[in-house]
Structures are given as C-alpha cells and as structure tokens.
Chains A and B, each alone.
Chain A
C-alpha cells in the first residue's frame, strides 16, 4: 500500500519531465496523453480488496493468449494495481457454459480485457459467434476505435485522426436467419430507433468531450430505405441537439473510396454494425495495420477492451511475431477507464516511444523485431523514467 502511494506521488512529480523528454512524440500525441481523462458517462466499478482492481481476462484464440500474457508481464513490471481473473473460453465446444462463466465474471468485475474468440465454421449454424454473444448479453452498444497515424510507421496517407463509433449489438449481426425454401436464405437486419438514438447520442457526446468538430453518419439509405433510413433519421434528430458540431452523412461505398483517397477529411464517424466492421478495418489498414489499433466496447454498466479489428491471428500464433502494440494500447484504455490514468500514460508513452523513436517494429510493419523484444523495449522505457518497478 505504501509502495503504491509512493509510486503515484512519484509519477505526479515526474510528469513534466516525461513530456519534455518525449520530444516529437509528445508534440504529436499531446492530446493522447490527456484525452481519456474526459470520457462519456460510465462510472468505473469501485476498486476492491485494498485498492486493487479485478479485471476479467479472456485469452481467446490465436495470438490472444500470448499477447495478454505480455500485458500481464508489463502490468506486473509496472506494479499496476490490477489483478486479472482469467476465464478460458473453448471455441471448439458447442455448449455455452464457458461463455456463461465469462459473462458472469464480467458482470462481477465490470471490466474485461479479451482476445478474439474464434468462430469455427465447422460448428452448426445454431452456434452463434461467442464474441457477438458477449457483446449482446452485456449490451456493449458502442464500439469505439481511434485511428491515428503514427510518425514511426510508414504509410501512404499521413495525418489521419479518425474516431469510429460502431453500433455493436444489432444490425446485420442480429444472427436472425432462416431458410424457408431450400436454397433461399433470408437474413434479417435489425435497426431500432432506440439503439440508433443511443449510439448517435454517444457519438455526439464523445465528439463534444474530445473537442471534435464534425460527425459523419455512414449508411446505405438509398437502398435500405427503411433500415438505414431510420438510422440516418435518428442521427439527424440527435444532431439537432448539438448545434456546435457539424453533422453530415455519406453512403458507405463512397465512404470507403474517400477513405483510401482522402482520409484526412473525416473526424468522427458513426455507423451501424456491418459498415463499422468494414470501415474500421479500412482505417486500421490506412494507419499501418491491425496490430496497431486498440478498440473498446462500452455499455451502460460494463466495458470490454480488445484489439480494434478483432483478429484471431491463427496463422501467426505462438511464433513470437505478433505485434503487441494494439493489445498494450487496449490495456491502457482499460486503465484510463479504471481512472488509473498515470499508469495508462506511462505504458502508452513507452509503447509509442518504442514505435516512433526506437522504431522497433514487428514483421507486420516490415521490421525484424519479435513480440518479446518489443515488450522488453517497452519495459526498458518504463524503467528509464525512474518509475518504481519490479525486476525485468
């Protein structure tokens, strides 16, 4: 307890030195250092057991387990007051017991950090995507992804800074399909007024809190006149209550074309589920790939953090080549959510320093570094800040 207080006091004194030493990284990411202090609604759960938080950890499949191990390693090294309750979900099973345990654990702790759970195509169609079940059971209605260009990563487009807010519980992911006639399948896309108003309101509130000037709704209302038409109408209604924020809309196919030609025109984007999936992956590709961008899923009562593009990465699992950046930055988002902002800033700065100044890159960015080398570099940067740490 005493050590914990000493760490926090030391970090408050050391802050100005960090900003000075980080140089270019700090100038570019000045807003990043403080952005998460102002977030929409959600009150984090109270710390339990003597000032330490308990967070549910779901390793998932593919690269999830190894990346989350690295997160635990960094947390242990930095003496972050977070304990993980690990819940394994076996994606090969047809029963729901594993998922029910995971959902119960998240309800108990309020916050989770997860890897992607594989959806095996060999299982019957009645077995739904476990990730989807988790999101809908906990009503994690907003998926938030912040895509920013990183100075140390070579990409075709520079100065990208887009926040994507994706409706997370309905739309094309309602898992409502039937085959009334053999060879003819009907899939239901559900758009409701309540959920559309809710996600639009979330988007505008977030835009206001982060000082963003423009919200773009992405839709296909020219074809899906009722479904996306309702979504667009709800966005317009909410926009009328935020006269300080410019609202416009764009059809999804034009959006993807504009993203690959002039991505700097976008600020905050809000959209239904499937378009959010596509647009978030396009943006991740624009800033350097899925290994770089963290994602967050927020509900009224719970929050779950993971990589933005939700890839299992089976082909690179256990080869020590996966990029740990996205998962480490997702864990920083989690720390901000728990109001452990000093630890979040410390780890985030170390990750960004490794990415932009040390330029130790993994194979997906064209580098030669391994996952462990990147993580070791992050811990060395943390140690060099004079922070009280465990042994390397």
Chain B
C-alpha cells in the first residue's frame, strides 16, 4: 500500500481552488475489497477498477445503500460525451401506474447537471430529493420494501418541487 499526496486544481466553483487529494494506491484484490466493503464501506471514497469488477462492486454498493432504485450512474467518454442513466430494470409490471421510484433517474440527471457545470441547480434538486426521502410520510413502496407508507410518484414530485422553490 503506497500513499502519494497530489495537489489537484479543481474546477468546481463552490469549492476552494486548490484541493488536496490523497491518492492511495490501495493495491487490493477484489476479494479483499468486497469483504471490507461489506464490513465497513465508509473507509472507501473513490474506487477505480476494470469492467467486470466494476459491474460486481457497483451492484454490491447499490445493495448497501438501498438498491438500484436510488442509484444514479453516468457513462463518460472522450470529448465530453456522456450518457447518464439509472441502472435498474424497465419494470414493465408497474409501468404507467404512477408507482415507479424516480430517485435513480433524478439523481442521474443531477450528475448530468454537474457534468454540465450547473452546480447550483444540481445542489438544489439533490437536496430536495434527499429531504423528500428523509421524510417518512412520502416514500415509495419500492424503497426499503415492506414499509407501511407508500405514495404515488406525483405526490413525491410535488413535495420535491415545493422543496426546490
């Protein structure tokens, strides 16, 4: 395990212009990483890995935070080309019934706004989203299954809209 300290100028306007980033070459095999992830995921910050390990670890981490219904993602390519998407399924059984959890796609849109440099809008929507999830009265059935309360997507959206303003 090596530790190198790098200084990286960040382009994020709301953060200080010089950010100290600790780069730790955590030479870990995926097996050692996963059991540490399961036992104490807070020790990790940013992870970089090849394709297959990323597939496995990203789903594992999604399971730790509540499932694919709340997990955003983005695919970044060269020259600023990017596609942001939720990674859950198409769920045809609940399509058009006002039951789907919008969190994953909404947070993916927040990632997109950050990618475009629209940080203020991104922060506003993200804060509203998190506050709405924290509010126990307005929670979709698909989140942490078995909850007593569930509501329609529309009412969740109304709550978030109110929080944004």
Residues of A in contact with B (beta carbons under 8 Å apart): 121, 220, 252-254, 256-261, 274, 277-278, 280-282, 284-286, 289-290, 309-311
Contact = CB atoms under 8 A, between A and B. Distances in A.
A257 B62 contact: yes
A309 B56 CA distance: 18
A257 B34 contact: no
Contacts of B60: 253, 256-257, 259-260, 282
Nearest to A257: B63
Given A252-B56, A253-B55, A281 B63 contact: no
A285 B59 CA distance: 16
A260 B38 contact: yes
B45 interface: no
Contacts of A310: 31
A285 B27 CA distance: 19
Nearest to A261: B63
B56 A277 contact: no
Contacts of A311: 32
A256 B34 contact: yes
A289 B36 CA distance: 8
B100 interface: no
Contact of B59 (A121, A256, A286, A289): A256
B30 interface: yes
B34 A278 contact: yes
B63 A285 contact: no
A118 B122 CA distance: 47
Contacts of A309: 31, 35
A201 B76 CA distance: 43
14 contacts: A252-B56, A253-B58, A253-B60, A256-B57, A257-B59, A257-B60, A260-B38, A261-B67, A277-B30, A278-B30, A280-B31, A282-B34, A289-B35, A309-B31
Given A253-B55, A253-B58, A309-B31, A285 B68 contact: no
A285 B31 contact: no
Interface residues of B, number: 22
Given A256-B60, A259-B60, 11 more contacts: A257-B59, A257-B67, A257-B68, A259-B63, A260-B64, A278-B56, A281-B31, A284-B35, A285-B34, A285-B36, A289-B35
A281 B35 contact: yes
Interface in B51-103: 52, 55-60, 62-64, 67-68
Contacts of B30: 277-278
A261 B57 CA distance: 14
A254 B39 contact: no
Contact of B39 (A257, A278, A285): A285
Of the candidates A282, A309, A310, the one having the most CB atoms from chain B within 10 angstroms of its own CB is A282
Contacts of B31: 277-278, 280-281, 309-310
A36 to B, nearest CB: 25
B3 to A, nearest CB: 14
B27 A282 contact: no
Interface in B105-151: none
Contacts of B58: 253
A62 to B, nearest CB: 12
A290 B35 contact: yes
Nearest to A275: B56
A75 B60 CA distance: 40
A281 B67 contact: no
A183 B67 CA distance: 37
A281 B32 CA distance: 7
Contacts of A281: 31-32, 34-35, 38
A254 B52 CA distance: 13
Given A253-B58, A253-B59, A257-B67, A289 B27 contact: no
A375 B92 CA distance: 56
Contact of A282 (B35, B55, B68): B35
A261 B64 CA distance: 7
A17 B59 CA distance: 48
Contacts of A260: 38, 60, 63-64
A282 B59 CA distance: 12
Interface string B5-46: 000000000000000000000010011101111110000000
Contacts of B57: 256
A254 B59 contact: yes
